[in-house]
Amino acid sequence: MVDTPDIIRIEAAHFSYGERPILTDLNLTIRRGEIVAIMGGSGGGKTTLLGLIGGRLKPSSGRVMVEDQNVPTLSKSALYQLRRRIGMLFQFGALFTDLPVFDNVAFPYREQTDLPEDAIRALVLMKLEAVGLRGAAHLMPSELSGGMARRVALARAVALDPAIMLYDEPFTGLDPISVGIIGRLIKRLNTALGMTSVIVTHDLNETLRLADRVIVLSAGRVYCDLVPDQIRASSDPFIRQFADGLPDGPVPFHYPASDYVQDLVQS
């Protein structure tokens, strides 16, 4: 793995929402074929990072290199070409509610290829079989459980066999069985399709079973970049607070504010 070339490289990237800095001098690399988890506190820039990789957001400075292309400088047509090689699983699936499962998965083929319908049918059934839902092809999204909907969304996201898969909180709102199923599917598809996966998640237990590396963000920078066993064994206060779900520690419970008593007196 050490000699595997980088597929994503972030170099000194800065990004702010107005006056509020989100990412500050961010540097990280992700190698081809890896499953890398991005973790950290809420509002720490994890989803923003996915937006930079996919070209939805642009840094105010720095470089976002994806497959040796500097994403913020790409023309619209070149960016669209790159995005065809990037799949995205949104936090709650984002299925088209008025289309049945089959047509949801068929959508990328119909929109982005000239394949005949018989070929599309075979490919859709293949993707649904991979996520265990070929028998649900006729169902509407409203008829699916949360875990099933997430699996359909995953089948749609990998429809065009992307080189890179981005996952935004793929385990949120799922029961433990569904979390395990989605985790196994991510790992299996990553291997079978030769993809690179970047997973933004707060589910530490599933992440440590799944990921090759865990990158933890704090204050807009990479706080640590460790393999799962190093996370488990760490005595670092920030990592332990995050891993053990402690309400207070290096990340304070209270948002910065003026003196409480003074606030009460002034009111």
* End-to-end alpha carbon distance in the chain: 60
- The 10 Å Cβ neighbour count of residue 201 is 22
CA 10 to chain centre: 16
Confidence band of 253 (pLDDT split at 50, 70, 90): low
pLDDT at 1 over 70: no
> In this predicted structure, what is the pLDDT of residue 29?
94
- Average pLDDT of span 152-171: 91
Q: Amino acid identity, residue 178?
A: S
- Average pLDDT of span 6-32: 91
Confidence band of 203 (pLDDT split at 50, 70, 90): confident
Give, in words, the CATH class of 6-227.
alpha beta
Q: What are phi and psi of 46, to 5 degrees?
A: -65, -50
Per residue in 104-153, pLDDT (tens digit) is 999 999 998 999 999 999 999 999 998 889 999 999 999 998 888 989 99
pLDDT at 3 over 70: no
pTM of the model: 0.85
Of residues 20 and 91, the one with the higher pLDDT is 20
pLDDT at 232 over 90: no
- Average pLDDT of span 47-70: 92
Give the Cα separation of 81 and 136 in Å (integer). 31
